[in-house]
Every structure is written in structure tokens, then in C-alpha cells.
Chain A
């Protein structure tokens, strides 16, 4: 080894300054972290615990003797009570459907905008972006009438189409960014080797844009799973309700007196897939925001 050893004095001084400043910062960080966890996790854990308490316990002032009698009663109850069990299924169908459809259409459009050149491309892309500015809350009334005319109200497919439209602009944006990032040499090389557009897309380009697709699908699923206004407006048949609407009915006593235990259990069932999916696919979620906000 020919490099001289760093002068210990210099390094030592810097290191001890870092150490001093570090410990004050470290304490602050620890305090912030602990408070944050309390403020953010405890309410969720509490809500989770509530779902195991029967209605009588929830609605009464806390009594130490009954408070911790936890049971699965609520969960058993909601599978048969009203239409909540059904609603979970409906939510799944709609969310997965919307996620899939959004991903397919957004990927195609992203590919078109990101890798192709054609007249009107800028205008078309601008149009899609502009629709992001149109709040769907404001067009929900005419949209209802239009879907009604197309016989798509009170219909899960109609809801899927609606959710797809709502999530499309963001998806197209993400996918276009993804495709723009594919080096042109790669596509050209594939073409030299004789691959047509479809084959290039599937075999060569796909691995590079799958993260974008995952992001799009994840966003669409999460948005559709918790969406409320659209489901409330477009669905009128009890058997078609998605989970948020079914829970609303439960809360308003549409099925008789309000059972808060069932409501809590229903909310937990609504919460779990979101948490699980997010924990498993975090990086795609964050990547989506980064591509949307920073590269914007």
C-alpha cells in the first residue's frame, strides 16, 4: 500500500465533532420516531383491536372486566349480515378489474406516446393530462346520466370503466415516462434482429417497463378499493355495493340498529389489503410519485 495513512489528528477531530453532533441529533430523531409511531400506529392498532370487541362493549363506557374479551364474532357476523360479505367480493372484482384495465390501456398509450412519433401526439397527450384537471366530482351527474343511457349504472362493469378512466391519466403519464427511458438502441437492435413491434414490446422492452406497470396497477387498485362517491352514485342495487358503500349503509342503520362491531370489522377488512399491498409493493408506489412529481 503506497498511500500514506490519513493523519489521525485531522480525522479524529472530524470524527469527534460528528459524534457530538450526532448524539444530539440521534436523540431528537429517536424522540421524533417514537412519537410518530405512537401517533400513527397506535390508532390503527386500536381500530384493529376494536374489530374484535362485540358491539355492546364498544358502545359502552370502558369496563375493565369486559374490555379485553376479544372474539371473532364480528367477522363471523359480517359474512352473513346484510351484504357486507358480498360487498367485499364486489370491491375485489371492481378493484382488480380496474387495475388490470388501467394497466393495459395505460401501457399501450404510454408506449405510443413514449416511443412513437405521429401527428397530434402532443395535443393528444396534453388532452389526457388536462382531463386530470377535471375533477370527476364535478362531472358525476352528467356521467351518471350518460352511463344510465348506456345501461352501465348499477353495473360493476360500469364502475370498472369509471375507475379506469379516473386512473388513466396518471397511468399514461407513468408509462410514457417509463417508455421514454428505454434506450432507442435497444429497440433498434431488436428490429435489426427482425422483431416486429409487438415482439419488441413483449420480449425486449417489457422488463424495463414492468415497474411502471406495477406502479400503475397498484395505484389503480388502491384508489378503486377505497373510492366512495362513484360507488355511492352509480350503484343502487344492494347486492352490487362495494365495501365502502355497504359500510355506509351499515353505519346508517339501513340493516336495522347500528352494530358498531360489524362496522369496525368491516373497516378492518377494508384496511388489510391496502396495508398488505403497500407493504409488499412500496417501492413501486414511491417510484410512481417520483416519476410523476419530479420528472413532471
Chain B
């Protein structure tokens, strides 16, 4: 490439530096490297990270595509079966049910997560006394993590003795003997509540800094003009928060689509396969039924679907100037 060109520029650097003339900001230079920041050092610095990514993400991805074309049983010999794994997916009831279930679950939790997170951000953004404490409290469940919270919930979902039933009994809503975790719809509902409770804090944090960037004057003049709280939010806050809202929606939708932990711990996908999500289905295919070929075919489909969802969301929520 322009090797002599960059050399000439490099020589200029030395000159400039020893001249103690105000150096042009290095950033403005196109081309490779500089005397002080040689390109080779840069390459060396980023290599470990690239190596990790190549070995532990790209290789498995390529490998996945390869395996999905076989009938590998995890241990033992395998044969090429071409695209039959993919063809079978269309007829695979369990997989399709898992996809449907995951979509329903995602549809149920996405909006509440956004709304609750938004309301939390509204409460916390004014930096009143105690706002910091509230922000911490709202975010604690997320930090504790869904796995730990799921274990705690197992206890409390027990019929007769768990806190969930005790509270409902005290409120007179049920008689306190509901076995939440062995009933498909009930377990799903409980898990949805858990997830909204645990994950909204992230949405809150993503939205708060955006909200705090909006000048108070805009709100005050709107208030003087008689706009209600909701109207102010709708016409001032939300339009200015397109990016954080988009980001939080993307994270939440993809996260819901890939849900595994809370379902595995709380219901093991049961009863039967009523609460089995896509990832859990893949896991069972691969490590319980030992049908690795089919499982990786499903995995490849999952990667494509997640990619499409992300792309679609990015496109739908793009900044329309």
C-alpha cells in the first residue's frame, strides 16, 4: 500500500516532535501506525482477543454447521446425512412446540420489562434524596442473577409452605395449596413474574442516563403550557430515548428468546415438555438424547433466527432523521 507515504508521514512526526511545534492530533492521520504507536504493536495487542474469539466462537460455529450435516451421536462414529436434519426440523413436534412456547414467553415478558424499567427510571432520575439507594435496590435482583433467584423461588413455590402460597392465602386469593411448578401455565406465569422482577433493573439503568441528559427546562416549559405528566413523557422523553429504548428492547427480546436457566431450575421443562424453551430443547437433544447432529441443526437455526431478530429490531428502531 502507501508504504512510502506513511514513511514520509513518520519522518514528519519526528521533525514535529523535536521542533516542539504543536503536534497535529495523531488521530487525524490516515494510514498505518506511527513512530510512537507502531502498527505491529497494535496487531500484537489485539491478537489474544482475536484468538479467543476465533477458537471459541468462530470454530464452533463452523463446526456446528459441519456437524449438523451428520448424525453424530456424541460418542462413536457418524455418517453424513446431508440436509436431512434440517428437513426433519419441520416435522419435529417438540422443537416446534419449544419455539412456540419461547415466542409466547418472550411476547409476555417484553413489554412489562420495558414498562417497569421505564417507571423505575422515572422514579430514580430526579436525583432526590434516596434515589441512589432506590436505584441500587431496583438493580439488586439483576446482579444476584437468575440462577440464584430461581433456587430461592423453588423454595417459595412449594405448596403449603412456600411464601408465594402463604401470601396468596393471606390475601384470600387461593387456599395456599397451589403446586406452581408442576402446572404448565402456572409455572410459566410465575417465571414471567420472576423475570420481570429480576430484569427490569437493567432496562432502568439503560434508560436513566438517557433521561438525565434531557434538560429540565424543556419539561418546565411544557408544564407551564399545561401538559400532563403522560403527555410530557410521550412527547419529550420517549422520542429522545429512542436509542436506549431500542437497545433495551433488543437485549430483552434476545435474552428471553435464549432463556434456559430459570426454566431448567424451576420446572426442568415440565410437566412433560410444556415449559421447554428452545435452548433447553437443544440441550436435551444433544446431551440427553445424544442426537448431536439434530441438536446442532437446531442450534444453527437458532443462530440464524436470533440474527434475524436482531437485524429486524435494529432496522425497525433505527434513528429516522
Contacts and interface: CB of A to CB of B under 8 A. Distances in A.
A165 B56 contact: yes
Contacts of B158: 59, 260
Contacts of A119: 1, 32, 39
Interface string A257-296: 0001001101100110011001100100110011001101
**Main SS at interface, chain A:** helix
B303 A117 contact: no
Interface string B14-47: 0001000001011101011111111111111110
Interface string B191-234: 00000010000100110011000000000000000000000000
A157 interface: no
B25 A184 contact: yes
Nearest to B307: A133
A107 to B, nearest CB: 9
A227 B148 CA distance: 10
B312 interface: no
A162 B163 CA distance: 37
Nearest to A21: B223
Interface string B300-317: 101100110010000000
B52 A141 contact: no
A96 to B, nearest CB: 16
Contacts of B265: 228, 248, 251
Contacts of A290: 209
Contact of B49 (A32, A106, A117, A144): A106
Contacts of A286: 205, 209
Interface stretch (A4-12, A36-44, A207-215): A36-44
B39 A227 contact: no
A37 B134 CA distance: 7
A117 B34 contact: yes
B23 A188 contact: yes
**Main SS at interface, chain B:** helix
Contacts, number: 286
Nearest to B303: A138
Given A264-B152, A270-B148, A105 B49 contact: yes
Given A108-B45, A293-B206, A244 B148 contact: yes
Given A29-B123, A139-B60, A263 B155 contact: yes
B161 interface: yes
Contact of A60 (B35, B42, B64, B161): B161
15 contacts: A39-B197, A44-B141, A113-B46, A128-B53, A137-B258, A137-B279, A140-B282, A141-B299, A168-B53, A229-B279, A244-B147, A247-B147, A264-B152, A274-B145, A293-B243
Interface of B: 1, 17, 23, 25-27, 29, 31-46, 48-50, 52-53, 56-61, 63-64, 67, 74, 120, 123, 126, 128, 130, 134, 136-141, 143-148, 151-152, 154-156, 158, 160-161, 163, 166, 176, 197, 202, 205-206, 209-210, 243-244, 247, 254, 258, 260-261, 264-265, 279, 282-283, 286-287, 292, 295-296, 299-300, 302-303, 306-307, 310
Interface of A: 29, 32-33, 36-37, 39-41, 43-44, 46-47, 50, 58-62, 105-106, 108-109, 111-113, 115-119, 121, 124, 127-128, 131, 133-146, 161-162, 164-165, 168-169, 172, 184-185, 187-188, 191-192, 197, 222, 225-229, 232-233, 244, 247-248, 251, 260, 263-264, 266-267, 270-271, 274-275, 278-279, 282, 285-286, 289-290, 293-294, 296
The 9 A-B residue pairs with the shortest CB-CB distance in the complex, in nearest-first order: A116-B42, A226-B145, A112-B45, A109-B49, A118-B39, A112-B46, A142-B63, A165-B56, A142-B60
